[in-house]
Amino acid sequence: DAKTTQPPSMDCAEGRAANLPCNHSTISGNEYVYWYRQIHSQGPQYIIHGLKNNETNEMASLIITEDRKSSTLILPHATLRDTAVYYCIVRVDGATNKLIFGTGTLLAVQP
């Protein structure tokens, strides 16, 4: 019941923008979209989240479509250290803040 669909893998050249898509067609009106990433052998790390407006922070930008059925995480200048599995998550349980992870997208940044 991850409620999200992501491509299993993507490649990106170092220094270029990485655009990671996510489909969440059954998202409810009050559900946020969260992005986490997991570098090999580490725990997941929060990146960014949004409801319906585009968001930007020091790590990335999040673009959410007007119908909220999909979103794109943008890493503006990918580095080798950005190689990781990226998870798009729709928070479901407000009482527990339970994160429901899918299988994510393995982003491989190539030199």
Partner 1 sequence: DAGVTQSPTHLIKTRGQHVTLRCSPISGHKSVSWYQQVLGQGPQFIFQYYEKEERGRGNFPDRFSARQFPNYSSELNVNALLLGDSALYLCASGFGGSPREQFFGPGTRLTVL
Does 21 bind partner 1 (CB under 8 A)? Our answer is: no
For residues 74-110, one letter each, b for 16 or more C-beta atoms within 10 angstroms of the residue's C-beta and e for the rest, the string is: bbeebeeebbbbbbbbbbeeeeeeeeeebebbbbebe
| Cα separations in angstroms, 9 against 30, 79, 85, 99 | 29, 16, 8, 21
If the CB atoms of residues 38 and 72 are measured against partner 1, the closer one turns out to be 38
Q: Which of residues 29-58 bind partner 1 (CB under 8 A)?
A: 32, 34, 41-46, 49
If the CB atoms of residues 53 and 66 are measured against partner 1, the closer one turns out to be 53
Q: Which of residues 47-106 bind partner 1 (CB under 8 A)?
A: 49, 85, 87, 89, 91, 93, 95-104
Per the DSSP assignment, residues forming a β-bridge with 110 are 13
Residues interacting with partner 1, by CB under 8 A?
Answer: 2, 32, 34, 41-46, 49, 85, 87, 89, 91, 93, 95-104
